[in-house]
Structure 1
Amino acid sequence: MPRSSPVVALDTLLSGNKRFVCGAPEHPNQDAARRSQLGPGQAPFAVILGCSDSRLAAEIIFDQGLGDLFVVRTAGHVLGTEVLGSVEYATSVLGTRLVVVLGHDSCGAIAAARESVDYGHSAGGFVRDVVERVTSSLLSARAAGLTTDNDVRDEHIRHTVDLLLDRSRLLSQQVDSGRIAVVGLGYALVRGSTRVVTARGIAPEVLNMDDQADD
């Protein structure tokens, strides 16, 4: 079962993404029998904290179905208390073993943060709050000498993973105990592929991160 361990859950996601990239999705768990099975309750094997971008539909790009993923989406995958509470609910109540932060290239929130930093263009309304939360990742990337779009995206993914564990004692304790893992994935819109950017609770040698092609 995908939920048997964080590693198995991640492998299930990455295998599904490979099917999606190759144009051979299986569309599992999307029939009437699955709907009936899920009536009494849910047991998703992964939490996906992703950007709200319309091109980033988790069940499609990971080739999963009903009840497989607990999806939380905000613009720029920024964190608020409601997001933290949703992720904690999935791991502590539903028993989910893997938390994924899913970022992507050509992110509008990151572009808006650049506009704000470089040209002083300020967003209006509550969009400003989203931009301000992303700006810290942009400034951190630049301080480290990272300037490309993908570099900034990856830094924002790492920053979000760190924030999850810094702000949620429950999640950090679950990682320390081996109960869950938190992984950051970067998604390439045109290619449709994902790559591991960072991971907490899974050994690097298990991920083979150095062998992954950059997008």
Structure 2
Amino acid sequence: MATPSHRKPLAELVEELLTTDGPLPIVAAGDPVLRQGIEHYDGHLDGALLSRFVEALRVTMHAAPGVGLAAPQVGVPLRIAVIEDPAPVPEEIRLARGRVPQPFRVLVNPSYAPVGTPRAAFFEGCLSVPGWQAVVARPAEVRLTCEDENGRAVDEVFSGWPARIVQHETDHLDGVLYLDRAEVRSLSSTQAMAERWTQPTPELAAASLGFELPQASL
């Protein structure tokens, strides 16, 4: 990717970010870096710097805490994301949402495609949109293609909550926030979520707030 004259070389930008220990600052909605489609990653960072950057993304994701983080969320326009979900949820939520543990993964140049037509709708949040959640209907199963941090090809099908994480983080690399896909009437503050919408599925929220759910989610 050619470097625009107004932008620092990406390796230099990453080096500057990594000069301090601990989690990186997370960029909030409204920053243009979250709305720019990110070009294909093609070795912009040497191996050692890439490893350090991936580790910084992991530390930042854990500290937030979250189950995924994309490079643009820390201000770096590289097509890289990390995901990890220990899934510490009650059994009824695990069953309703298909939320199962996911190991730490690095996604380089990811893309996804739906597998079949079923869609699932659940509340979803984002580290770059703190304080809010909304219901998003997404394909229930997707095929992910990408590379890992070592350049090995990945071609895998994800379903349930892992499929949602994969879609959410890959969307970040296309300049898409979950709010772009959300049912606007479902938008709820963190306080409202804690007080009203802790159920495993969003049926009560849909009935109370007046929005539709895809049939597959019922």
Normalised TM-score (structure 2): 0.26
Greater percentage in strand = 2
Normalised TM-score (structure 1): 0.27
